Structure 1
Amino acid sequence: MNFFTEQDQARRNSKILIALFAVAVCSLIAITNLVVAITFWLMDGQLQDSSHVTELLHSAGKPSFAHYFSWQNFGKISLMVSSAIAIVIAYKWLQLAAGGKRVAESLGGVRIHPNTDNVNEKRVLNVVEEMALASGMPVPAVYLLRGEKGINAFAAGNTPADAVIGVTQGAIEQFDSEQLQGVVAHEFSHILNGDMRLNLRMIALLSGIVFIGNIGELIMRAGGRHGGYHTTKRSGDARVFMLGLAFVIIGWLGVFFGGLIKAAISRQREFLADASAVQFTRNPQGIANALKIIGGYQAGSRVFSAKASEISHMFIAEALGSWASFDTHPEIEKRIRKIEPGWNGAMISRRMRVEASAQAGAALHGKEQRKGQAAMAAVAGAAFVAAQQTQAIHSAVADAEHSIESIPYGLKKLAHEPLGASALVYSLLLDADKATAEQQITYIEQCQVKGLVMLCLQIKEDVAGLDVSLRLPLIELSLPALKMLSAEQYKQFKKTLLLIIRADKKFEIFEWCLFQLVRHYLAPEFETIRASKPQYKKAKQVAKPYAIVLSALVRYGHDDEGEQHRGFTKGANTAGLYTLTLLPEQDCSMDDFVKAVNQLANCFPLLKPKLLKGFADCVSHDGVVSPIEQEVLTAIAAVMDCPQPRLLMS
């Protein structure tokens, strides 16, 4: 599996979605014009009694049908219908611009605090953290749909930076850590392969189609009654009522078209996401058993929120039950057999809540079991993914678990609280020079946040003594807690962060990495961000900025000039830019480097992996990847909106 190929496929699916939507709108406009003409033709005149219909239809003076179906009327009706749809879509799109949190909150989801003491909630947070660090993307916020006993989950957002994971109460109660890992890996696939943005577009577009039916209901009420709300007296003009009924029927057609479009786009993506779950975890039993539990669970995967129908295509399993017009997901049995071809057809029956102690035991058992199943998992995953990439990501998951365990408990606990996370980020930037550090502490004092300065001073030595390889995982673990800042607190946090960075009047590479990671993944939560637009399809179009970044990268990792040239050549050849030469140091300053990375962010999805692979080959050509090289690669990938599994050589 190549995630960038799938991102490109998602872009093509976006075009298919727009084409299907255009067909649906044109069909609705045509049908609306036809229905309006027929309605006014049949119901011409003030009808008080049904016996008048026959007389009306046979009256010699009745205008012909063509009188009601004119191009002038067609233009007016088409303009009204298309304008109404466009306004509704624009309004819904503005709502969804806030990212995944808006979707989760509309379903009644409540963000799980990073410092929660609930065993089930803590378990799902731990799984999400491990998968995020392994895949090289930020740790997303996790939302819990309390009261939803059905087993389900979803991922929502416009980009990895504003993505969230949502889980139902039933999911965290019925799944153990191994099954949660499979489900979370499934949702991470939707994040990485571009499904989330496609799904949000689908919500916005389909809301415009369905809105016509809502208009019809209002027209019916207006035509069916007049006077007070509770009066039962009929209106004198039955045409209004009939016209409203026609619009309701058209609205039903809109729902039909919407279900058809959702089914056409989303069903194929579920098989892909299941395969990705195997790739991420290298354990087919995790996602397979999760699906078996959903199939054998008394409450199933039903979600009862009023907004569930709107985002039914985003869940891991069918959320609407058997009454839905179109199934947005393949049958669970087919999905399980794709993962386990030899499955005997037996579901896992679950009727009551699994106790925390049993879950903990299952988690430990699952961890040991995964080690013994590596060979079997590789065979099962071979149908979906390339073995080399599977092994790399599986190793990245293990490396992420090790990194989290290696962070001192006190610092890890602080990373899960907004105040502690702020202190950790500030402390990572405190200068070794005493005078500069004092100036930085002064800037922190100006925040006027009670206890912040004292906390920074208390952890200063622990942070300074932290292994360099743990700085990046610590920053990434802090992001969910920092997202819980208020808008005003974030504004002050960002201002102070910049003052601390500029205190020594130098802009170092670690400072750039830290700031890019924090800004890129926090800004969508608090600011209006313009997404980068693809401009470059071929590597030669970005040869200059690529040479600048590659030249800077080899100098961060190597002091020996020969190694610099070998690393540069390796990276340039991987990108297909065979004529590039290593630039002089003065031509790849920090400012040049920053501008070049921002330019590379505007490449098309299929070009980005080639460029990132070149950077990775550059730093790993000697078999050694230093922590600073890993930090730079992660920051570059973040700016380019391309989360990448970390390199594991050391």
Structure 2
Amino acid sequence: MDFFAHQDRARRNTGWLVVLFIIAVTLLVFLANFCIAVTIGWTELNAVKPNGTSSFNIILDQFSWKRFIYVGIAIWCVVLGAIIFKRLQLSEGGKRVAESLGGHRIYPNSDNADERRVLNVVEEMALASGMPVPPVYLLAYEVGINAFAAGNSPSDAVIGVTRGCINLLNRDELQGVIAHEFSHILNGDMRLNMRLITALHGIEFIGGMGEVLLRVRSNRSGAQVFLLGGALWIIGFLGTFFGDMIRSAVSRQREFLADASAVQFTRNPQGIADALKVIGGHQAGTSISSPATGEVSHIFFGQALSRLGGMFDTHPPLMDRILRVQPEWNGAFIYKEVQKEAPETEAEDRNKEKLAKAVAMGAALNGEFIDPAELLLQGNIVSVQEGLSHIPDALRGQAHDPLGASALMLGLLFSDDEAVYQKQLGYLKQKPTPGLLELIQQQTPALEQLSRALYLPLLELSMPALKCLSAEQYKLFKQRLLLLIRADEEVDLFEWCLFQELQHYLDPEFGKVRNLRPRYREMQQVAEPYRLVLSVLVYEGHDDSEDIERAFNRGIGSAGLYNLTILPADACELGEFRAAVKELAYAYPHLKPRMLMGFVNAVKQDGVITPVEREIVRSIAAVMDSPVPSLDEPQG
């Protein structure tokens, strides 16, 4: 998948969304004026009908440009007001959508076998796609088989699954569904979906007002209120009609793309094909019963709600989706009863031996040693499953608990210098949290033995648990991070990388974060910050001066900035580096792939990719709010 190409396509779709929205509201203005003219004309007809005057002319006489303008302004104000309100609601990210549908968060330390399975699948898919692990929400009372991804960006994204989804799908089928949802996050569809919810809420809000007025009972003005409510309801119905039409126009084709992307992620077309077949054989299908389904129906894996005889369904027919993935399908669906599978830990144990044998055989055939920790970073789901098995069970268990995850992140920052270490201990003892220091000291031996390549994956596994902290706990956790980092009175690159990823992906959970507005359209506008960031990257990853020069030249060549020269090593200060990375984040989406691929090609130049290089590239990508490019594909 080309994330940035899809981002550009999503931006074009957003443009079409704006055009369709303006047309829809304009039509509503005309219809509102028509309804008002009919209502007033009907009143006139009931009062007295002048001789020789037709009913049509009486109604036509009620049209007034002055009223037309006033009504138009009123409707636009109502629509825009509703949009602003909804936008403020959704600024909290995907969790707001999940909660509106009746979902509750599956805690990372859940011991339920079905919940544990979906959590593990989401973890694997996130690491394979270079994303932080998102929280998972369960729609516990929905028996239909469905799922969704919601959020404004990868940092506040959530994955939602229904009870039917986790009870009826096996691991491979569930993996296909989750991969489909991750593709929506990575190709920009998720952000477009959120904008669609916001825009269409304004149109459909008018219909809601009409329904309220229709329920009003008044002895003195019942007829007038009823007529006004009926008019608004008709307008609102037409608004819903336009909304469904826009959802359908924007959504259908993207589902085929997401299905194809799921196959690309998992390398297993059978998984998502069988999931679709199970849906076809399930009585409840993909239906969602929540009252909030209407305005978010387009975000689901399958058709959550069908209106107007399916004329404007947001998803293609089920059979068409299956045949796209599996052209040889014989038309038979899969019929399942709810059954409990073996606990996820047992399934993992069965997979570990097979995966380990496959990796060992591959290494023997190639005559090479493969560091198991490096498998976790290859962007392949099978490699990720094998790589995760090399993180000690004790550390993985702690990563699923809020206190344990906090202890892991703080433990990674402890210094080898005894004086600094004692100073760091002193900081943690100032405002002690019961059990925290003991946990850190308990984890220290395992952390000291952990491969450096697994530090950031361990961080990403900890994200859902850290998002379960309270706002006050997160504030204290962040303060402790800064104290430990500054204990030696300097900030090294690893400390910057760790803090940057934590801050970028956790801050949206605990407060509203203002989205960056792009301001750089040309590469030349970011040439200097790019030069500084690339210089730091190549100095950190290479020792030989010729390798440094070649890596820098490859990086600027990939970005199309051929006239730049590398900065002297003493000019590459970390403070300026941090500021430069933030400047790159203000580039327009079409520039980001060139910059990121420049960094990737620079670290690939010598054929050796160090954990430090990985950490820097992953952190730069996080600041730029972009998926991490693959570091293990052949150089292009």
- Using a 3 Å threshold, how does the CA distance of structure 1 residues 149 and 58 change in structure 2: closer, same or farther? farther
User: How many angstroms does 1:173 deviate by?
Assistant: 0.8
Q: Report Cα offsets for 1:500-536 as digits up to 9, x if no partner.
A: 1111111100000000110000000012211122222
Q: Which runs of 4+ in 1 moved over 6 A?
A: 59-63, 358-373, 391-394
Identify the match of residue 197 of structure 1 among 191, 208, 213. 191
Q: Are 1:628 and 2:612 matched, yes or no? A: yes
Q: Are 2:3 and 1:3 aligned? A: yes
Q: Distance in 2 between matches of 1:619 and 1:336?
A: 40
273, 285, 293: which one aligns with 1:300: 285
Amino acid at match of 2:29: I
Q: Name the SS of the counterpart of 1:154 in structure 2.
A: strand
1:177 to 151, 171, 179: 171
* Residues 154-213 of structure 1 deviation map (CA, whole Å, 9 limit, x = unaligned): 000000000000000111111111111111111001111111111111111111111111
Name the counterpart of 1:145. Answer: 139
**Residue pair 1:288, 1:336 contacting (<8 A) in 2 also:** yes
Partner of 2:626: 642
Equivalent residue, structure 1, for 2:327: 341
Q: Quick one: which amino acid aligns to residue 248 of structure 1?
A: W
Which residue of structure 1 aligns with residue 75 of structure 2?
81
Matches of 1:404 and 1:372, distance apart in 2 = 15
> Which residue matches 1:539?
523
Task: Name 1:455's counterpart in structure 2.
Answer: 439
Question: Structure 2 CA distance, aligned partners of 1:196 and 1:611?
Answer: 23
Could you tell me how far apart the structure 1 residues matched to 2:343 and 2:251 are? 35
> Alpha carbons of 1:26 and 1:368: their partners in 2 closer, same or farther (altered >3 Å)?
farther
Secondary structure of the residue that 1:311 maps to in structure 2? helix
- Separation in 2, partners of 1:585, 1:314: 48
Partners of 2:377 and 2:384 within 8 A in 1: no
Q: What is the DSSP-based 3-state SS (H/G/I as helix, E as strand, rest coil) of the residue aligned with 1:310?
A: helix
Counterpart mapping for 1:78-477 below 5 A: 78-222=72-216, 225-227=217-219, 235=220, 238-321=223-306, 326-350=312-336, 352-357=337-342, 396-477=380-461
Q: Pick from 487, 504, 515 the counterpart of residue 499 of structure 2.
A: 515
Amino acid in the other structure paired with 1:566:
R
Residues 372, 343 of structure 1: CA spacing in aligned structure 2 closer, same or farther, 3 A cutoff?
farther
* C-alpha contact 2:174 2:271 (8 A) present in aligned 1: yes
One-letter amino acid of the counterpart of residue 526, structure 1: F
In 1: Cα distance, 2:377 partner to 2:419 partner? 44
1:567 aligns with 2:551: yes
Post-superposition shift, 1:243? Answer: 2.7
Identify if the C-alpha distance between structure 1 residues 365 and 174 changes in structure 2 by more than 3 Å, giving closer, same or farther.
farther
* SS of equivalent to 2:295: coil
Partner of 1:605, secondary structure, is coil
Are 1:396 and 1:645, in contact at CA under 8 Å, matched by a contact in 2?
A: no
State yes or no: 1:598 paired with 2:582: yes
In 2: Cα distance, 1:361 partner to 1:520 partner: 35
Contact map agreement 1:43 1:238 (CA 8 A) in 2: no
Question: Residues 237 and 511 of structure 1: is their aligned pair in 2 closer, same or farther, counting only changes over 3 Å?
Answer: closer
Residues in 2 aligned to 1:504 and 1:367: alpha-carbon distance in whole angstroms: 41
Q: Distance in 1 between matches of 2:564 and 2:459?
A: 34
| TM-fit CA distance, 1:640 | 0.6
Q: Which runs of 5+ in 2 are unaligned?
A: 359-374
| Closer/same/farther in 2, CA of residues 419 and 528 from structure 1, 3 Å limit | same
Q: Which residue of 1 aligns with 2:567?
A: 583
The question of whether the paired residues in 2 share the 8 Å contact of 1:7 and 1:194 is answered with yes
Partner AA of 1:196 in structure 2: M
Give the secondary structure class of the aligned counterpart of 1:353.
Answer: coil
Residue identity (%): 50
**CA deviation vs aligned residue, 1:37-96 (integer Å, no higher than 9, x gap):** 12112213xxxxxxx738546598999546532222112211211111111111111111
Residues 466, 237 of structure 1: CA spacing in aligned structure 2 closer, same or farther, 3 A cutoff? closer
Deviation, 1:359, is: 8.6
Give 1:362 deviation, angstroms: 8.4
**Does structure 1 residue 553 correspond to structure 2 residue 547?**
no
Structure 1 unaligned blocks of 5 or more: 45-51, 228-234, 374-390
| Structure 1 position 325, deviation (Å) | 5.4
Measured in 2, the distance between the counterparts of 1:130 and 1:219 equals 50
* SS at structure 1 position matched to 2:342: helix
| Alpha-carbon distance in 1 for matches of 2:11, 2:37 | 39
C-alpha distance in structure 2 between counterparts of 1:16 and 1:567, whole Å: 42
1:12 aligns with 2:12: yes
Local SS of the residue matching 1:278: helix
Q: Take 2:113 and 2:320, find their aligned partners in 1: how far apart are those partners?
A: 33
Q: Please give the alpha-carbon distance, in whole angstroms, between the structure 2 residues aligned to 1:181 and 1:393.
A: 19
Contact conserved, 1:161 with 1:522, CA < 8 A, in 2? yes
2-structure distance, mates of 1:141, 1:361: 23
Compute the displacement of 1:372 (Å). 14
Q: For residue 294 of structure 2, what is the amino acid of its counterpart?
A: S
Do the aligned residues in 2 keep the contact of 1:513 with 1:632 (CA within 8 Å)? Answer: yes
Whether the 8 Å contact between 1:186 and 1:274 is mirrored in structure 2 is: yes
Instruction: Measure the CA separation in 2 of the matches of 1:584 and 1:198.
Output: 43
What is the match of residue 231 of structure 1?
A: none
The Cα shift of 1:366 comes to 9.1
1:506 to 475, 484, 490: 490
Q: Which moved more, 1:362-371 or 1:445-454?
A: 362-371
Aligned length: 616
Equivalent pair of 1:177/1:363 in contact (CA under 8 Å): no
Cα gap change, 1:9/1:298 in structure 2, threshold over 3 Å: closer, same or farther? same
What CA RMSD, in Å, does the superposition of the two structures yield over aligned residues? 2.6
Mapping for residues 16-31 of structure 1, pairs under 5 Å: 16-31=16-31
Q: Which letter does structure 2 place at the counterpart of 1:257?
A: F
Find the counterpart in structure 2 of residue 377 from structure 1. none
CA distance in 1, matches of 2:343, 2:418: 52
Spell out, residue by residue over 1:194-243, the C-alpha distance to the aligned partner (whole angstroms, 9 max, x if none). Answer: 11111111111111111111222333344xx325xxxxxxx567344223
* Counterpart secondary structure, 2:613: helix
Residue 387 of structure 1 corresponds to none
Cα contact 2:549–2:566 (8 A) shared by 1: yes
Contact 1:280 1:394 in 2 (8 A): no
Whether the aligned pair in 1 keeps the contact of 2:40 and 2:59 (CA below 8 Å) is no
| In structure 2, distance between residues paired with 1:397 and 1:548 | 34
Q: 2:46 aligns with which of 33, 50, 53?
A: 53
**Structure 1's 393 and 632: CA in aligned 2 closer, same or farther, altered over 3 A?**
closer
* Structure-2 change in CA distance of 1:398 and 1:237 (3 Å): closer
Deviation of 1:431 (Å):
0.8
**1:135/1:393 contact within 8 Å kept:** no
Residue 181 and residue 479 in structure 1: after superposition, are their counterparts in 2 closer, same or farther (change >3 A)? same
1:646 is displaced (CA, Å) by 4.6
TM-score (norm. length: structure 1)? 0.90
CA distance in 1, matches of 2:102, 2:471: 22
Tell me, yes or no, if the aligned pair for 1:43 and 1:239 is still in contact at 8 Å.
no
TM-score scaled to structure 2, two decimals? 0.92
- Find the residue that maps to 1:546 and give its secondary structure: helix
2: CA distance, partners of 1:250 / 1:393? 53
The alpha carbon displacement at 1:465 in A equals: 2.6
| Distance in structure 2 (CA, Å) of the matches to 1:371 and 1:431 | 34
Q: Are the aligned partners of 2:203 and 2:236 in contact in 1 as well (CA < 8 Å)?
A: yes
Identify if the C-alpha distance between structure 1 residues 367 and 458 changes in structure 2 by more than 3 Å, giving closer, same or farther.
closer
Counterpart residue identity of residue 125, structure 2: M
Q: Deviations over 1:318-371 (max 9, x none)?
A: 011465552110011111111112221111122x20321399998899999999
Q: Secondary structure at the match of 1:406?
A: coil
